[in-house]
Structure 1
Amino acid sequence: MSFGQAALLAAPTSVAHANGAGPGFVQFADVEKSYDGRTFAVTRMNLTVARGEFLTLLGPSGSGKTTTLNMLAGFERPTHGTITLEGQPVDRLPPYQRNIGMVFQNYALFPHMTVEENVGFPLSVRQVSKADIAARVGRALDMVRLRQFGDRRPSQLSGGQQQRVALARALVFQPSLVLMDEPLGALDKKLREHMQLEIKQIHTMLGVTIVYVTHDQSEALTMSDRVAVFNQGGIAQLGSPDDLYNTPQSSFVASFIGENNTLEGVVDHVSGEQCRVRLNGGGEITALAVGVTQGSSCHVAIRPERLSLSPAPAGGNALSATVDGRIYLGDHLRLLARLANDQVLTVKVGPEATMANGEAVTVSCAPNDCRAFPADAGKAAPFQNRGK
């Protein structure tokens, strides 16, 4: 049986593939969580997840993403607000009544059981017949390409194989929703990247709804339909990977998603969508104005690949700098360019670049490739999202 055949046999019956369309499958309505009654791990969250969507909750430690996942799983109860799944409130239901599959970082496999017994466990506790268990376990193991390891114990498998078993166990009973909490955190880089593609392929084949927690921004960008970037108990921004990378709405999101240069300064004036910024210590730059006002302190965000050492385009920015370092990364170089005000920019250039340390260069960029944010915009505001 092929991977695709196994996936189709195991697929839930009424799943629409999600690119953001469709009614709310999971909804958080005014949800808050406090552990001590004084401070909030999650604040005033309104969030909708579409059926069949792959949504990633991304953020640093302590940002509220895992608390949000635990409330959805039933391991924590919200202090305030309502969580619904397929239109039914679940915030007071125990985990075993929510029809949710879970995949954890530590796999959580039973060491005394074989692979087949581990995968079949959710079916046995649901009192499925032995014949059905055998058939469904076989299909699930085919789906993750581990049929030949069915009689082994978890200790006889590699980390990647154990994670595949955990994934098969989470999918074997055809849950309405699968939650994944840092599932690849214990794997090495190469295996982690391979498993990212496998999980995404399974999601595409089955159309199952997945809510995924990670602090790894590259993992989130690779796998997700949408990403919710968490910060200080709220969602700083929610959008597609492309939206978050190319049109961040705050300095925090710009710095957390992908590599970013940040220049500090004061807004000299605002004209339409652009503003002119006086950089701290000297120099000026024109950027897109994102919530800044004249006279306010700001952070200007610029991606390294948007900077160039060629002459500035018409109306573009040109900054005098000195090469302060070279980082060789195979297919490209990262040049560290120190400006006259002592701020340092990282510039992505081709591997053939010959600029030496101490050499004078001009760093240029288009104003539309620079985004000026209020200097205090790193804190997440209460996020409202009732739909896509």
Structure 2
Amino acid sequence: MDATAASRPNTEAERFVEFIDVEKSYDGRTFAVTRLNMHVAKGEFLTLLGPSGSGKTTTLNMLAGFERPTHGSITLNGQPVDRLPPYERNIGMVFQNYALFPHMTVEENVAFPLSVRKFSKTETTQRVHKALDMIQLRKFGDRRPGQLSGGQQQRVALARALVFEPSLVLMDEPLGALDKKLREHMQLEIKQLHSMLGVTIVYVTHDQSEALTMSDRVAVFNNGGIAQIGTPDSLYTQPANPFVASFIGENNTLEGVVDHVSGTECQVSLTGGGRIRATPIDLEGQGTACLVALRPECIQIARSGTNDNAFEATVEGRIYLGDHLRLLARLQNGQLLTVKVSPETMMITGETISLGWSQRDCRAFPTQ
């Protein structure tokens, strides 16, 4: 099944945002986005995830109104927005560089969208105070952005995007400038605010762990289109193609040729020797060149013959990472596996070990 294929949702709430056959070309020859069909449900947190140049930011910019589609249409709450300027779309925006006005105080920055929309002074004050209370920065209202930390500035940018109660909030790499610890803290803060407010969020990132942590669904972009869209757990455990398998999380990739396919199982002869039982994904049958993807945490140090797959391997390296030990194990056919095991596991470099894993934990894809 095509990873981008999905039936059109039935209700307006399910297609609160909808892209219909959207394409975008800047030069008339090459396309930054091709044949994009995607919907966002009301109240959903959808993340657009992918490497640089995959089309995710262009998609966000078309939704924001900063770019126009070359072909196709975009609707918001059932209404086409292709020709509407950004300020008429009732959309909040949060950017990586915060985009705060340095000469304004925190309160003035948060109040700016309200002044543009001609809110009364009384309602502006009430909304600004409520927004600053929400991000726990009320006492910093009279400071300027330069007097705040990066995390505090990003929280102000978030409050400014939410203060006028937009129908949709777009976030473009909003945590990219923060250090790892603060980034992880802000991920949880944004997710909590989303749960509390129920606002619809479309979020762009190239950080897979960020996408998995925060999202209701993730659209994985590659070469201008969606390689797969689904819940974080479905993308991780059931990748639809080699790109998603390699981009989401960590995967071992083994090369081989299909011996036979029988329903939900197949047997693959690995390059260099050995056979493996796997779950076939879009394999045509015997003789098909394929890649087998296997998560490091799905490999066990074999203690018995109960595994669907069992191999001898030599430990070539061990890396201590606190909560787990990462082994580099070389199979007899020369292919290298990464194995995640308990940090208490006693293994030494050069030791021969037995590895095993289940057929359902490895997926065989045709070589692209």
Q: What's the TM-score, normalizing by structure 1?
A: 0.91
Which residue matches 2:212? Answer: 221
Question: In structure 2, what is the equivalent of residue 339 of structure 1?
Answer: 331
Return the offset for 1:21: 9.8
Number of equivalences: 357
CA distance in 2, matches of 1:110, 1:313: 65
Cα displacement (A) at 1:315: 5.7
Higher relative contact order (CA 8 A, sep 6+): 1
Residue 5 (structure 1) aligns with: none
The 5 A counterparts of 1:69-148 are 69-148=60-139
The reply on whether 1:281 has 2:272 as its aligned counterpart is yes
Which consecutive aligned stretches of 4+ in structure 1 deviate over 6 angstroms post-superposition? none
For 1:300, the equivalent position in structure 2 comes to: 292
Output aligned runs, 1:12-51, within 5 Å.
22-51=13-42
Structure 2 counterpart of 1:80, one-letter code: H
2:347 matched to which residue of 1?
Answer: 355
- 1:65 alignment partner AA: K
State the distance in 2 between where 1:21 and 1:336 align.
50
Q: Which residue of 2 aligns with 1:329?
A: 321
Q: 2:319 is aligned with what amino acid?
A: I
Structure 1 distance, partners of 2:12, 2:345, is 45
1:281: how far off?
1.1
Once the two structures are superposed, residues 309-332 of structure 1 have per-residue CA deviations (whole angstroms, 9 ceiling, x without a partner) of 123553610111100100101121
* Contact 2:131 2:162 (C-alpha < 8 Å) held by counterparts: yes
Q: Is the 8 A contact 2:307 2:356 kept in 1?
A: no
**By how many angstroms is 1:28 displaced?**
0.3
- C-alpha separation between the residues in 1 aligned to 2:307 and 2:173? 45
Does the Cα contact within 8 Å between 1:312 and 1:365 map onto a contact in 2? no
Q: How far apart are the structure 2 equivalents of 1:323 and 1:108?
A: 50
Cα RMSD after superposing both structures: 1.1
Structure-2 change in CA distance of 1:36 and 1:270 (3 Å): same
**Residues 33 and 40 of structure 1 are in contact (CA less than 8 Å); yes or no, is this contact kept in structure 2?**
yes
Q: Is the 8 A contact 2:12 2:78 kept in 1?
A: no
1-structure distance, mates of 2:267, 2:115: 66
Extract unaligned runs of 5+ from structure 1: 1-19, 377-388
AA of the residue aligned to 2:194 = H
Check the 8 A contact 1:313/1:366 in 2, yes or no.
no
- Out of 348, 357, 364, the position equivalent to 2:356 is 364
After TM superposition, the structure 1 stretch with the greater mean CA deviation from structure 2, 347-356 or 138-147, is 347-356
Is the 2:172–2:203 contact (alpha carbons within 8 Å) kept by the matching residues of 1?
yes
Tell me the TM-score normalised to structure 2 length: 0.95
Q: Deviations over 1:337-373 (max 9, x none)?
A: 0111221101111111111111111111011111001
Structure 2 Cα separation of the partners of residues 327 and 23 of structure 1 = 45
1:210 match: 201
- d(CA) in 1 for partners of 2:50, 2:25: 19
The Cα of 1:308 is off from its aligned counterpart by 0.6
Q: Does residue 375 of the first structure (1) align with residue 333 of the second (2)?
A: no
Distance (Å, rounded) in 1 between the aligned partners of 2:78 and 2:115: 28
Identity %: 75
Structure 2 CA distance for aligned equivalents of residues 272 and 47 of structure 1? 30
Gaps of 5+ in 2: 1-10
Look up the match of 1:319.
311
| Residues 312, 318 of structure 1: 8 Å contact kept | no
Q: CA deviation at 1:23?
A: 2.9
What amino acid is the match of 1:186?
A
The residue identity in structure 1 corresponding to 2:210 is E
1:192 is aligned, of 175, 178, 183, to 183
Distance of 1:158 and 1:338 partners within structure 2: 47
8 Å contact kept, 2:255–2:271:
yes
- SS of the residue aligned with 1:292? coil
The one-letter code matched in structure 2 to 1:338 is: R
Query: Which residue type is aligned with residue 261 of structure 1?
Result: N
**Partners of 2:311 and 2:67 in 1: CA distance:** 52
Q: Separation in 1 of the partners of 2:146 and 2:75?
A: 38
* Cα deviation digits, residues 27-46 of structure 1 (max 9, x gap): 00000001111111100111
